[in-house]
Structure 1
Amino acid sequence: MSPRLLLVDLDADLVSAWCEVFAEEIRTGAVEVRQGSLLDVLPQVDAVLRPEIQRSVWAAIADEYRGYQSVGSASMVPTGDEPCCWLVYAPTMRVPMPLTGGLDIAVHDAFWAALLAVGNHPTITKIASPGFGTGYGRVSAGRAAQLMAAAYTMWQLPATTRISQREQLLQHP
């Protein structure tokens, strides 16, 4: 069974877009959406997905990736804290920059990598995530929500179905 997903962000437009594209998952209880700070939900989750680097991740990246972690990969770093035991770092860009000209697909790829990473840890039951690509990346709330929903939908599908669904899910609205 997949962990429950809690999407939380301060951006009201992103929260509204998530509510629209994750409507079915919200209805079934698989996904919850909140407007607010990620820090406020830490006691309620086992892992936090982050597109931005945190100090606790630097050493892990230095060891595992020789200092550079590529877009489309994810690292799980133990926090050493209870109750949120894991920080999952999944970069959306190499350096802070707008994700324009088709680069916004990195939102999907990073969120996908993060979901795969937590999916391999059976002890994780609930994960929290802010918007991916909406800060420095300047991806619109609607497009970021669509790309995150596409990654989540594919993550929920059986492997044989994912290949045929990928292109359809990633189409620009």
Structure 2
Amino acid sequence: MTDAPGRSLRLVLCAVDNALAEAWLAEAEGRDGIVVHHGSVLDIGADAVVSPANSHGWMRGGIDAMYARAFPAVQQNVRSAVLAYHGGELPVGEAVIVPTGEVAPFWLISAPTMREPGERLPADSVHPYLAARAVFRLWLHGRLDEGSPVREVVRTIAMPGLGTGVGGISPRTCARQVVAAWDEAFSEITTSNG
């Protein structure tokens, strides 16, 4: 997906298990700007990784615990942003971007898929869609604290399955919802540019 001459945005959908990798491949096929990686989000040379955390920013389980180990400052950065901008609770459907405290990836986007840590989601939950839409809106329209557009600084995002771990959402449901959010967000940008 090109948003300016010579500068493209790239979403890398990551899966460590076969079921999610197959779902990503089936749903994302033919979409410009999306790549599927069968492996960890930490394998990707991305500018930002997505955390499908909880609304309070606690990073103690699933992939968030992996992020907290890899980026020791990140949980405090997320918690501080949630407290400063959202009064201590970042609703599902919203996202914040914070520095990881490391050189690469420099940024982490927290987009909750659940309100409480460890919450099991209903099978028909739309939380993966809401979280992905929040990530894409922040990417396309958000600004960093110093004023730069997020999309000028973050060119590649690595995204794990949203809600597929602790949340219990099926890989197919997650993939369908994430790609639907992508189609919605990027059709808006294409329409406004065209």
Work out whether the TM-score is over 0.5: yes
Match of 1:123 among 153, 167, 178: 153
Aligned partners of 1:108 and 1:147 also within 8 Å: yes
* Equivalent-residue separation in structure 2 for 1:38 and 1:77 (angstroms): 17
Aligned partners of 2:23 and 2:175 also within 8 Å: yes
Return the offset for 1:13.
0.3
Aligned partners of 1:3 and 1:119 also within 8 Å: no
What residue number does 1:134 align with? 164
How many residue pairs match? The answer is: 155
**Which AA in structure 1 matches 2:119?**
M
Give the TM-score taking structure 1 as reference length: 0.82
Instruction: Report 1:146-161 matches (<5 A).
Output: 146-158=176-188
User: How far does the alpha carbon of each residue in 1:61-102 deviate from its partner, in whole angstroms, 9 at most, with x for none?
Assistant: 122222111110001112233232211000011112222164
Return the offset for 1:123.
1.9
Match of 1:38 among 38, 41, 62: 41
Q: Does 1:100 align with 2:122?
A: yes
User: How far does the alpha carbon of each residue in 1:10-62 deviate from its partner, in whole angstroms, 9 at most, with x for none?
Assistant: 1210110010010112xx4x111111112222xx1111111124413112112
Q: 1:24 to 1:65 in 2, by over 3 A?
A: same
Aligned partners of 2:27 and 2:179 also within 8 Å: yes
- SS of the equivalent of 1:94 reads coil
Q: 1:101 to 1:135 in 2, by over 3 A?
A: closer
Aligned partners of 1:47 and 1:88 also within 8 Å: yes
Q: Which runs of 5+ in 1 are unaligned?
A: 162-173
* Equivalent-residue separation in structure 2 for 1:39 and 1:61 (angstroms): 24
Task: Provide the aligned C-alpha RMSD in A.
Answer: 1.8
What residue number does 2:63 align with? none
What residue number does 1:166 align with? none
* Equivalent-residue separation in structure 2 for 1:12 and 1:31 (angstroms): 18
- SS of the equivalent of 2:169 reads coil
* Equivalent-residue separation in structure 2 for 1:11 and 1:57 (angstroms): 27
Return the offset for 1:159.
6.3
Runs of 4+ with >3 A deviation:
none
Aligned partners of 2:50 and 2:110 also within 8 Å: yes
**Which AA in structure 2 matches 1:47?**
A
Identity among equivalent positions (%) equals 33
Aligned partners of 2:123 and 2:169 also within 8 Å: no
